[in-house]
Amino acid sequence: MRRTAATAALLLAAVPVTACGATHPSARAQRTGTASSASSGSATPSDVAMARPAALTKPTLSPDILVYGAHSQSAATVKAVRALPGVVDVEQFALGQFFHEEQQITYAAVDPATFRRFTPQDSAQTQSVWDRVAGGEMAVTRSIGEQIEDAHDYVRMGNDRGALKVHVGAYAPLVQDYTGASVVDAVVNEKWVSKLGVPAHNAMLISTGSASPQAVLKKLKPVIGADSVRILAVNLPVSGYQTAVLTGGSVSSLLGTLRYVPHADGTVTDDPAWVKEYIRTEQVPIIGSVTCNKIMLPQLRAALTEVVQRGLAGKINPSQYGGCFNARFIAGTNQLSYHAYGMAIDLNVPGNERGTVGQMDRTVVAIFKKWGFTWGGTWHYTDPMHFQLDTIVKVK
Protein backbone atom coordinates (compact mmCIF):
# COMPACT_ATOMS: atom_id res chain seq x y z
CA MET A 1 0.00 0.00 0.00
CA ARG A 2 1.12 3.61 -0.51
CA ARG A 3 2.30 4.54 3.02
CA THR A 4 5.39 6.00 4.60
CA ALA A 5 7.47 3.83 6.89
CA ALA A 6 6.54 6.04 9.82
CA THR A 7 2.85 5.59 9.14
CA ALA A 8 3.26 1.84 8.85
CA ALA A 9 5.08 1.69 12.17
CA LEU A 10 2.35 3.69 13.85
CA LEU A 11 -0.32 1.39 12.46
CA LEU A 12 1.57 -1.69 13.58
CA ALA A 13 1.46 -0.40 17.14
CA ALA A 14 -2.29 0.08 16.92
CA VAL A 15 -3.43 -3.47 16.22
CA PRO A 16 -3.94 -5.25 19.61
CA VAL A 17 -7.13 -7.27 19.88
CA THR A 18 -9.29 -6.33 22.84
CA ALA A 19 -10.04 -8.69 25.65
CA CYS A 20 -13.70 -8.13 26.36
CA GLY A 21 -14.94 -6.87 29.69
CA ALA A 22 -15.93 -3.73 31.49
CA THR A 23 -12.45 -2.21 31.51
CA HIS A 24 -11.93 1.26 30.09
CA PRO A 25 -10.97 1.01 26.37
CA SER A 26 -7.53 2.53 26.88
CA ALA A 27 -6.70 -0.27 29.31
CA ARG A 28 -8.29 -3.00 27.17
CA ALA A 29 -6.11 -2.03 24.22
CA GLN A 30 -2.97 -3.00 26.13
CA ARG A 31 -3.69 -6.70 26.22
CA THR A 32 -4.66 -9.44 23.80
CA GLY A 33 -6.61 -12.65 24.11
CA THR A 34 -9.85 -14.41 23.37
CA ALA A 35 -13.06 -12.46 23.88
CA SER A 36 -15.13 -13.42 26.86
CA SER A 37 -18.76 -14.39 26.49
CA ALA A 38 -21.02 -11.50 25.61
CA SER A 39 -22.81 -10.04 28.57
CA SER A 40 -26.47 -10.70 29.29
CA GLY A 41 -28.75 -8.74 27.00
CA SER A 42 -26.41 -9.39 24.08
CA ALA A 43 -27.71 -8.16 20.74
CA THR A 44 -25.38 -10.48 18.82
CA PRO A 45 -27.66 -13.25 17.50
CA SER A 46 -26.25 -16.69 16.77
CA ASP A 47 -27.24 -16.59 13.10
CA VAL A 48 -24.65 -13.94 12.19
CA ALA A 49 -21.68 -16.26 12.70
CA MET A 50 -19.70 -17.41 9.67
CA ALA A 51 -16.94 -19.97 9.24
CA ARG A 52 -13.57 -18.58 10.29
CA PRO A 53 -11.41 -17.57 7.34
CA ALA A 54 -8.22 -19.44 6.52
CA ALA A 55 -4.89 -17.79 7.25
CA LEU A 56 -4.03 -15.11 4.72
CA THR A 57 -1.52 -16.31 2.12
CA LYS A 58 -2.17 -13.85 -0.72
CA PRO A 59 -0.57 -10.39 -0.71
CA THR A 60 -2.52 -7.36 0.45
CA LEU A 61 -3.97 -4.95 -2.11
CA SER A 62 -4.05 -1.18 -2.28
CA PRO A 63 -7.62 0.22 -1.91
CA ASP A 64 -7.32 2.78 -4.71
CA ILE A 65 -10.95 3.54 -5.64
CA LEU A 66 -14.17 3.28 -3.63
CA VAL A 67 -17.47 3.00 -5.51
CA TYR A 68 -20.75 3.04 -3.56
CA GLY A 69 -24.40 3.87 -3.88
CA ALA A 70 -27.89 3.35 -2.53
CA HIS A 71 -28.56 0.05 -4.32
CA SER A 72 -26.90 -3.31 -4.79
CA GLN A 73 -24.48 -3.43 -7.68
CA SER A 74 -25.26 -6.13 -10.23
CA ALA A 75 -22.99 -9.05 -11.01
CA ALA A 76 -22.80 -7.76 -14.59
CA THR A 77 -21.52 -4.37 -13.36
CA VAL A 78 -18.86 -5.97 -11.19
CA LYS A 79 -17.79 -8.22 -14.08
CA ALA A 80 -17.47 -5.18 -16.35
CA VAL A 81 -15.38 -3.34 -13.74
CA ARG A 82 -13.06 -6.34 -13.33
CA ALA A 83 -12.50 -6.37 -17.09
CA LEU A 84 -11.33 -2.72 -17.26
CA PRO A 85 -7.67 -2.17 -18.13
CA GLY A 86 -5.68 -1.35 -15.00
CA VAL A 87 -8.05 -3.08 -12.55
CA VAL A 88 -6.13 -5.66 -10.50
CA ASP A 89 -8.95 -6.79 -8.18
CA VAL A 90 -12.42 -5.82 -6.97
CA GLU A 91 -14.02 -6.46 -3.58
CA GLN A 92 -17.79 -6.14 -3.14
CA PHE A 93 -19.39 -5.47 0.24
CA ALA A 94 -22.15 -3.46 1.93
CA LEU A 95 -21.41 0.10 3.07
CA GLY A 96 -23.59 2.19 5.37
CA GLN A 97 -23.51 4.89 8.00
CA PHE A 98 -24.99 5.35 11.43
CA PHE A 99 -24.78 8.19 13.92
CA HIS A 100 -23.35 7.91 17.41
CA GLU A 101 -24.24 11.11 19.23
CA GLU A 102 -23.39 13.66 16.49
CA GLN A 103 -20.63 11.57 14.90
CA GLN A 104 -21.27 9.76 11.65
CA ILE A 105 -19.70 6.29 11.58
CA THR A 106 -19.07 4.50 8.27
CA TYR A 107 -19.23 0.73 8.52
CA ALA A 108 -18.81 -2.17 6.12
CA ALA A 109 -20.49 -5.60 6.16
CA VAL A 110 -17.97 -7.88 4.49
CA ASP A 111 -16.63 -11.31 3.69
CA PRO A 112 -13.71 -11.39 6.18
CA ALA A 113 -11.70 -13.85 4.05
CA THR A 114 -11.38 -11.46 1.09
CA PHE A 115 -12.01 -7.96 2.47
CA ARG A 116 -9.00 -8.20 4.79
CA ARG A 117 -6.66 -7.94 1.78
CA PHE A 118 -7.70 -4.29 1.33
CA THR A 119 -6.74 -3.35 4.91
CA PRO A 120 -3.25 -2.41 6.12
CA GLN A 121 -0.73 -5.24 6.20
CA ASP A 122 -0.69 -5.49 9.99
CA SER A 123 -4.49 -5.74 10.19
CA ALA A 124 -4.77 -8.13 7.26
CA GLN A 125 -2.30 -10.55 8.83
CA THR A 126 -3.83 -10.52 12.33
CA GLN A 127 -5.96 -13.66 12.19
CA SER A 128 -7.79 -12.98 15.45
CA VAL A 129 -9.31 -9.77 14.03
CA TRP A 130 -11.00 -11.63 11.19
CA ASP A 131 -11.94 -14.61 13.35
CA ARG A 132 -13.86 -12.20 15.60
CA VAL A 133 -15.57 -10.54 12.64
CA ALA A 134 -16.52 -13.92 11.20
CA GLY A 135 -17.93 -14.91 14.60
CA GLY A 136 -20.38 -12.01 14.54
CA GLU A 137 -18.43 -9.33 16.39
CA MET A 138 -17.21 -5.94 15.21
CA ALA A 139 -13.71 -4.74 14.41
CA VAL A 140 -13.38 -1.01 14.88
CA THR A 141 -10.62 1.56 14.62
CA ARG A 142 -9.25 2.39 18.03
CA SER A 143 -9.99 6.13 17.86
CA ILE A 144 -13.65 5.49 17.04
CA GLY A 145 -14.04 2.53 19.39
CA GLU A 146 -12.90 4.45 22.44
CA GLN A 147 -15.56 7.06 21.73
CA ILE A 148 -18.56 4.88 20.96
CA GLU A 149 -18.27 1.67 23.02
CA ASP A 150 -20.41 1.36 26.11
CA ALA A 151 -19.20 -0.03 29.43
CA HIS A 152 -19.73 -3.62 28.25
CA ASP A 153 -17.82 -3.33 24.94
CA TYR A 154 -20.90 -2.90 22.74
CA VAL A 155 -21.59 -0.41 20.00
CA ARG A 156 -25.14 0.72 19.30
CA MET A 157 -25.33 1.00 15.53
CA GLY A 158 -27.53 4.08 15.41
CA ASN A 159 -28.91 6.94 17.47
CA ASP A 160 -32.27 5.23 17.64
CA ARG A 161 -32.94 3.79 21.10
CA GLY A 162 -33.97 0.52 19.46
CA ALA A 163 -30.87 0.22 17.25
CA LEU A 164 -28.97 -3.06 17.28
CA LYS A 165 -25.92 -3.38 19.50
CA VAL A 166 -22.85 -5.26 18.28
CA HIS A 167 -20.10 -6.63 20.51
CA VAL A 168 -16.63 -5.22 19.82
CA GLY A 169 -14.09 -7.99 19.29
CA ALA A 170 -11.04 -6.11 18.02
CA TYR A 171 -9.38 -2.78 17.44
CA ALA A 172 -7.63 -2.58 14.09
CA PRO A 173 -6.81 -0.08 11.33
CA LEU A 174 -9.24 -0.74 8.49
CA VAL A 175 -9.56 0.73 4.98
CA GLN A 176 -7.57 3.97 4.69
CA ASP A 177 -6.88 6.66 2.13
CA TYR A 178 -3.43 7.75 0.97
CA THR A 179 -2.88 9.81 4.15
CA GLY A 180 -3.69 6.93 6.50
CA ALA A 181 -7.08 8.44 7.41
CA SER A 182 -9.91 5.96 7.95
CA VAL A 183 -12.40 5.48 5.14
CA VAL A 184 -14.16 2.63 6.96
CA ASP A 185 -14.49 3.02 10.74
CA ALA A 186 -15.98 -0.37 11.61
CA VAL A 187 -16.43 -3.81 10.05
CA VAL A 188 -18.95 -6.59 10.67
CA ASN A 189 -19.48 -9.71 8.60
CA GLU A 190 -21.94 -9.84 5.71
CA LYS A 191 -24.54 -11.87 7.65
CA TRP A 192 -25.43 -8.62 9.45
CA VAL A 193 -26.72 -7.05 6.22
CA SER A 194 -30.39 -7.99 6.56
CA LYS A 195 -30.48 -7.07 10.26
CA LEU A 196 -28.93 -3.64 9.73
CA GLY A 197 -31.02 -2.72 6.69
CA VAL A 198 -28.06 -1.76 4.52
CA PRO A 199 -28.27 -2.79 0.83
CA ALA A 200 -26.15 -5.87 0.08
CA HIS A 201 -23.16 -5.31 -2.19
CA ASN A 202 -23.80 -1.58 -2.66
CA ALA A 203 -20.05 -0.82 -2.57
CA MET A 204 -16.81 -2.03 -4.09
CA LEU A 205 -13.13 -1.38 -3.52
CA ILE A 206 -10.94 -1.41 -6.61
CA SER A 207 -7.21 -1.99 -6.60
CA THR A 208 -5.32 -0.62 -9.60
CA GLY A 209 -1.87 -1.79 -8.55
CA SER A 210 0.74 0.17 -10.51
CA ALA A 211 -1.85 1.66 -12.87
CA SER A 212 -3.03 5.23 -12.40
CA PRO A 213 -6.37 5.41 -10.56
CA GLN A 214 -7.21 8.53 -12.56
CA ALA A 215 -6.80 6.64 -15.83
CA VAL A 216 -8.98 3.79 -14.57
CA LEU A 217 -11.58 6.29 -13.35
CA LYS A 218 -12.17 7.60 -16.88
CA LYS A 219 -13.16 4.12 -18.05
CA LEU A 220 -14.99 3.32 -14.80
CA LYS A 221 -17.58 6.09 -14.75
CA PRO A 222 -19.58 4.91 -17.80
CA VAL A 223 -19.79 1.43 -16.25
CA ILE A 224 -21.04 2.37 -12.76
CA GLY A 225 -23.55 5.06 -13.73
CA ALA A 226 -24.77 7.30 -10.91
CA ASP A 227 -22.88 5.59 -8.08
CA SER A 228 -20.54 7.75 -6.01
CA VAL A 229 -16.80 7.44 -6.61
CA ARG A 230 -13.91 8.36 -4.35
CA ILE A 231 -10.23 7.96 -5.23
CA LEU A 232 -8.35 6.89 -2.10
CA ALA A 233 -4.84 6.50 -3.47
CA VAL A 234 -3.90 10.08 -4.30
CA ASN A 235 -4.73 13.61 -3.22
CA LEU A 236 -7.68 14.46 -5.42
CA PRO A 237 -10.66 16.52 -4.26
CA VAL A 238 -13.93 14.62 -3.97
CA SER A 239 -16.18 15.68 -6.82
CA GLY A 240 -19.74 14.92 -7.81
CA TYR A 241 -22.45 13.50 -5.62
CA GLN A 242 -21.48 11.40 -2.60
CA THR A 243 -23.93 9.03 -0.92
CA ALA A 244 -24.90 8.43 2.71
CA VAL A 245 -26.97 5.30 3.42
CA LEU A 246 -28.19 5.76 6.98
CA THR A 247 -29.12 2.69 8.97
CA GLY A 248 -29.74 2.10 12.65
CA GLY A 249 -33.44 2.10 13.50
CA SER A 250 -36.84 3.60 12.87
CA VAL A 251 -35.65 7.21 12.50
CA SER A 252 -32.90 6.38 9.99
CA SER A 253 -35.23 4.19 7.95
CA LEU A 254 -37.51 7.18 7.32
CA LEU A 255 -34.78 9.50 6.06
CA GLY A 256 -34.06 7.88 2.73
CA THR A 257 -30.65 7.97 1.07
CA LEU A 258 -28.97 11.36 1.08
CA ARG A 259 -26.83 12.34 -1.89
CA TYR A 260 -24.73 15.46 -1.50
CA VAL A 261 -21.88 17.43 -3.04
CA PRO A 262 -19.08 18.32 -0.57
CA HIS A 263 -17.26 21.66 -0.71
CA ALA A 264 -13.82 22.73 0.51
CA ASP A 265 -15.28 25.11 3.11
CA GLY A 266 -17.01 22.28 5.00
CA THR A 267 -20.48 22.92 3.59
CA VAL A 268 -22.36 20.46 1.43
CA THR A 269 -25.13 20.80 -1.11
CA ASP A 270 -27.85 18.26 -0.48
CA ASP A 271 -29.62 16.74 -3.46
CA PRO A 272 -32.39 19.25 -4.31
CA ALA A 273 -34.90 16.42 -4.79
CA TRP A 274 -34.15 15.15 -1.26
CA VAL A 275 -34.49 18.67 0.17
CA LYS A 276 -37.83 19.12 -1.59
CA GLU A 277 -39.07 15.82 -0.16
CA TYR A 278 -37.93 16.25 3.45
CA ILE A 279 -37.19 19.86 4.42
CA ARG A 280 -39.98 22.22 5.53
CA THR A 281 -40.19 25.74 6.98
CA GLU A 282 -42.95 25.95 9.59
CA GLN A 283 -43.99 27.83 12.72
CA VAL A 284 -43.41 26.28 16.15
CA PRO A 285 -44.05 27.60 19.68
CA ILE A 286 -41.51 29.92 21.35
CA ILE A 287 -39.01 30.00 18.47
CA GLY A 288 -41.30 30.94 15.58
CA SER A 289 -40.14 29.99 12.08
CA VAL A 290 -37.81 26.99 11.76
CA THR A 291 -36.51 25.01 8.80
CA CYS A 292 -36.24 21.32 9.71
CA ASN A 293 -36.90 17.79 8.49
CA LYS A 294 -40.62 17.03 8.18
CA ILE A 295 -40.05 13.86 10.23
CA MET A 296 -38.84 15.86 13.23
CA LEU A 297 -41.26 18.79 13.11
CA PRO A 298 -44.31 17.16 14.79
CA GLN A 299 -42.23 16.02 17.78
CA LEU A 300 -40.39 19.33 18.00
CA ARG A 301 -43.72 21.16 18.03
CA ALA A 302 -45.07 18.78 20.70
CA ALA A 303 -42.01 19.26 22.92
CA LEU A 304 -42.14 23.05 22.68
CA THR A 305 -45.91 23.03 23.28
CA GLU A 306 -45.39 21.11 26.51
CA VAL A 307 -42.62 23.51 27.54
CA VAL A 308 -45.15 26.36 27.18
CA GLN A 309 -47.91 24.45 28.97
CA ARG A 310 -45.65 23.80 31.94
CA GLY A 311 -44.74 27.46 32.28
CA LEU A 312 -41.14 27.04 31.09
CA ALA A 313 -41.21 29.08 27.89
CA GLY A 314 -38.84 31.59 29.45
CA LYS A 315 -36.17 28.91 29.68
CA ILE A 316 -35.76 28.96 25.88
CA ASN A 317 -34.61 32.25 24.38
CA PRO A 318 -35.84 32.58 20.76
CA SER A 319 -33.12 35.14 20.01
CA GLN A 320 -30.52 32.49 20.88
CA TYR A 321 -31.88 29.85 18.49
CA GLY A 322 -28.92 28.32 16.63
CA GLY A 323 -30.65 26.66 13.68
CA CYS A 324 -31.90 23.28 12.52
CA PHE A 325 -31.31 22.40 8.85
CA ASN A 326 -27.71 23.27 8.00
CA ALA A 327 -26.07 21.35 5.17
CA ARG A 328 -22.51 20.94 6.42
CA PHE A 329 -19.89 18.59 7.79
CA ILE A 330 -19.03 18.45 11.48
CA ALA A 331 -16.33 21.10 11.96
CA GLY A 332 -12.86 19.84 11.07
CA THR A 333 -14.09 16.52 9.59
CA ASN A 334 -15.53 15.09 6.39
CA GLN A 335 -18.45 13.57 8.32
CA LEU A 336 -21.98 14.83 7.80
CA SER A 337 -23.58 16.61 10.73
CA TYR A 338 -27.06 15.52 11.75
CA HIS A 339 -28.00 19.12 10.91
CA ALA A 340 -27.41 18.21 7.25
CA TYR A 341 -30.51 16.02 7.57
CA GLY A 342 -32.50 18.72 9.38
CA MET A 343 -32.86 16.34 12.34
CA ALA A 344 -31.16 18.42 15.05
CA ILE A 345 -31.81 21.77 16.65
CA ASP A 346 -29.58 24.12 18.67
CA LEU A 347 -31.15 26.15 21.49
CA ASN A 348 -29.79 28.81 23.87
CA VAL A 349 -26.42 28.86 22.13
CA PRO A 350 -24.62 31.29 24.49
CA GLY A 351 -23.81 29.49 27.72
CA ASN A 352 -24.21 26.02 26.16
CA GLU A 353 -21.01 25.69 24.16
CA ARG A 354 -19.41 22.35 23.30
CA GLY A 355 -17.37 20.76 26.05
CA THR A 356 -19.26 22.51 28.86
CA VAL A 357 -21.91 21.41 31.34
CA GLY A 358 -24.12 24.14 29.95
CA GLN A 359 -27.02 26.06 31.39
CA MET A 360 -29.92 24.24 29.73
CA ASP A 361 -32.88 23.82 32.08
CA ARG A 362 -33.06 20.15 33.02
CA THR A 363 -36.86 20.02 33.02
CA VAL A 364 -36.80 21.28 29.44
CA VAL A 365 -34.29 18.54 28.69
CA ALA A 366 -36.62 15.94 30.23
CA ILE A 367 -39.52 17.17 28.09
CA PHE A 368 -37.48 16.88 24.91
CA LYS A 369 -36.40 13.36 25.88
CA LYS A 370 -40.05 12.43 26.44
CA TRP A 371 -40.77 13.50 22.86
CA GLY A 372 -38.04 11.35 21.34
CA PHE A 373 -34.99 13.62 21.41
CA THR A 374 -31.52 12.91 22.72
CA TRP A 375 -29.57 15.73 24.38
CA GLY A 376 -25.96 16.59 23.65
CA GLY A 377 -25.30 17.56 27.24
CA THR A 378 -24.68 13.91 28.20
CA TRP A 379 -22.36 13.04 25.33
CA HIS A 380 -18.73 11.97 25.39
CA TYR A 381 -17.87 15.51 24.25
CA THR A 382 -20.78 17.54 25.53
CA ASP A 383 -22.90 19.77 23.29
CA PRO A 384 -25.62 21.08 25.62
CA MET A 385 -27.26 23.38 23.05
CA HIS A 386 -27.98 20.39 20.80
CA PHE A 387 -31.10 18.21 20.64
CA GLN A 388 -31.62 15.60 17.92
CA LEU A 389 -34.36 13.11 17.16
CA ASP A 390 -33.55 9.50 18.03
CA THR A 391 -36.97 7.89 18.53
CA ILE A 392 -40.29 8.22 16.73
CA VAL A 393 -43.07 9.17 19.15
CA LYS A 394 -46.66 9.40 17.97
CA VAL A 395 -48.09 12.90 18.27
CA LYS A 396 -51.85 13.16 18.58
Note whether 231 and 296 are same-domain residues.
Answer: no
Number of domains in the chain: 2
Residues 357 and 209 in one domain: no
Within a domain: 145: yes
Residue at 69 is within a domain: yes
- Give tens-digit pLDDT for 65-106: 999 988 999 999 999 999 999 999 999 999 999 888 878 889
Average pLDDT over residues 35-60: 70
Same domain as 104, residue 12: yes
Do 284 and 142 lie in one domain? The reply is no
* Residue 237: band (very low, low, confident or very high) from pLDDT cuts 50, 70, 90: low
Is 227 found in the same domain as 322?
A: no
> Does 394 map to a domain?
no
- For residues 257 and 241, the model is more confident at 257
Quote the pLDDT of residue 301.
97
The answer to whether position 128 is within a domain reads yes
Q: Does 374 share its domain with 285?
A: yes
- The stretch 226-234 carries a mean pLDDT of 83
Instruction: Provide the pLDDT for residue 45.
Output: 62
> Looking at the structure, do residues 190 and 312 belong to the same domain, yes or no?
no
User: Domain residues for 277?
Assistant: 271-389
Mean pLDDT of the chain: 83
Question: Do residues 358 and 385 make contact, with C-beta atoms less than 8 angstroms apart?
Answer: yes
Among 31-35, 146-150, 353-357, top mean pLDDT goes to: 353-357
Task: Give 260 or 137, the one with higher predicted confidence.
Answer: 137
Q: Which of these three, 250, 280, 299, is where a domain ends? A: 250
- At 58 the pLDDT is 92
Residue 38: the pLDDT is 39
Count the alpha carbons within 13 Å of 230 in the hemisphere toward its beta carbon. Answer: 21
pLDDT band at 9 (very low <50, low <70, confident <90, very high): very low
Is the pLDDT higher at 17 or at 309? 309
Q: Is the pLDDT of residue 120 over 70?
A: yes
The confidence score (pLDDT) of residue 278 equals 94
For the ranges 168-182, 309-323, 333-347, the maximum mean pLDDT occurs at 309-323
Indicate whether 152 and 195 sit together in one domain: yes
Give yes or no for residue 4 having a pLDDT over 70: no
- For residue 257, being part of any structural domain is answered with no
- Residue 366 is predicted with a pLDDT of 97
pLDDT above 90: residue 12: no
Statement to judge: residues 238 and 275 lie in one domain: no
pLDDT band at 123 (very low <50, low <70, confident <90, very high): very high
Q: Please tell me which residue, 265 or 106, carries the higher pLDDT value.
A: 106
Of 219, 250, 281, the domain-final residue: 250
Do 243 and 364 fall into the same domain?
no
Is residue 242 included in any domain, yes or no? yes
Q: How confident is the model at residue 8 (pLDDT cuts 50, 70, 90)?
A: very low
pLDDT for residue 13: 33
Closest CA to 345 of 377, 375, 314, 378: 375
Position 258 in a domain: no
364: domain CATH number is: 3.30.1380.10
Q: What is the pLDDT of residues 318-338, one digit of tens each?
A: 999 999 999 888 776 777 888
In a domain, 260, yes or no: no
pLDDT on residue 119: 95
pLDDT above 50 for 158: yes
Task: Single out the residue of 219, 187, 193, 194 nearest to residue 206, CA to CA.
Answer: 219
With bands split at pLDDT 50, 70 and 90, how would you rate the model's confidence at 211?
confident
Could you tell me which residue, 57 or 255, shows the higher pLDDT? 57
- Do 19 and 64 share a domain, yes or no? yes
CA distance linking residue 328 with residue 339, whole number of Å: 7
Q: What is the pLDDT of residue 157?
A: 84
Q: Residue 153's pLDDT is what?
A: 86
Q: Which pLDDT band, with edges at 50, 70 and 90, does 212 fall under?
A: confident
Instruction: Please give the pLDDT value at position 154.
Output: 87
Domain boundary among 192, 220, 250: 250
Please check whether residues 239 and 356 belong to one and the same domain.
no
